[in-house]
Amino acid sequence: MKDNSLAKLGGTCSILLGVSYIVIGINYLLLLPAAQRAGSTLDKSLPSFAQNPTPLTLQYWAFALGAVFALAAVLAISETVRSTNEGWVRWTSNLAYLGFAVIAINNFLFLDRQPARAAAYVAGDAATKAAMVASGPVGLDPQGWLGFGAVGLWTLVVSLLALRGGMWPKPLAYVGIAVALVYWLIVAGQVLDIGLLVAIAAGLGGVILGPIWYIWIGVHLRRAAQMAPSSAASPAS
């Protein structure tokens, strides 16, 4: 009998990833101060964080934990379409692992360092503040090429392959394609320093499309795993 533990685990983790996206999107749009959002300069974001660290701390935790859940979700989702084009699936899924790993590392790093940096900025003299601003943001992927761009490529590839091979319901595949575009919208907003694009992506991707896709495909994986044993069982001879 086929072991369906991957689909069950990956499906559960995909659902949890979708929930983390809801937290990220709502927090970004409703709770996060403007000074702490994407595109804000360090001379604004650090004093704001020192005064009100809770929303951004929640953002860091949601991104970090969601990315950890994503590592299992990527594995299970990729497995559903691997037979249609193993080369593309393996390459882009590896990119997605890398992207989500970078997101996790970055946000755990921020959780550790951001409070101390904010406190040092507020307590520092003009020279200290100037040096901290000149040093730029701390992070492995400041423009999101890996955390959002590479993950978006994987999302697009698996969705197109699922659409071509009929592995998923068609609406699910179309939502996946839309999610890929939202990921790239975040990269565009970061590269071009346009906060509005990031806000649009947070609304569309974080609150609507991202949660729909990850939760839906998580449910799809778990249902397929539950149905597989009975459908695969052979009648007794």
Which pLDDT score, from 0 to 100, does residue 183 have?
Answer: 94
Radius of gyration of the chain (CA): 20
Burial class (CB in 10 A: 0-12, 13-18, 19+), 108: middle
pLDDT at 206 over 90: no
Q: Which domain holds residue 105?
A: 5-230
Higher confidence at residue 176 or residue 227? 176
In a domain, 235, yes or no: no
The model's confidence at residue 134, banded by pLDDT at 50, 70 and 90, is confident
Identify whether 52 is part of a domain.
yes
Residue 103 lies in a domain: yes
State the pTM of this model: 0.90
In a domain, 24, yes or no: yes
237 domain-assigned: no
3: pLDDT confidence band, cut at 50, 70 and 90?
low
Residue count of the chain: 237
**pLDDT, tens digit, for every residue of 63-119?**
999 999 999 999 999 999 999 999 999 999 999 999 999 999 999 999 999 999 999
CA 218 vs. chain centroid, Å, equals 15
Q: What is the mean pLDDT of the chain?
A: 90
Question: Is pLDDT of 137 > 90?
Answer: no
pLDDT of 61 above 70: yes
Report the C-alpha gap between 210 and 25 in whole angstroms.
Answer: 9
Residue 182: the pLDDT is: 93
Query: Structurally, how many domains does the chain consist of?
Result: 1
Share of the chain above pLDDT 90, in %: 70
- pLDDT digits 0-9 by tens, 155-200: 999 999 999 999 999 999 999 999 999 999 999 988 888 888 888 8
What residues have CB less than 8 Å from 38, skipping those under 6 apart?
Answer: 189, 190, 195, 198
What percentage of the chain exceeds 70 in pLDDT?
A: 95
Instruction: Compute the average pLDDT of residues 25-39.
Output: 88
Residues 195-219 have a mean pLDDT of 89
Token code pair at residue 132: 């901290």
Q: Which of 155, 177, 163 is nearest to 17 (CA)?
A: 155
Identify the band that residue 2 occupies on the pLDDT scale cut at 50, 70 and 90. low
User: Which run of H or of E encompasses 44?
Assistant: helix 42-51
**What span, in angstroms and rounded, lies between the C-alpha atoms of 55 and 27?**
7
| Residues whose CB is less than 8 angstroms from the CB of residue 218 and which lie 6 or more positions away in sequence, other chains included | 10, 11, 12, 13, 14, 15, 16, 17, 18, 73
> How far out from the chain centre does Cα 224 lie?
24
Q: Is residue 236 part of a domain?
A: no
* Residue 237 reports pLDDT greater than 60: no
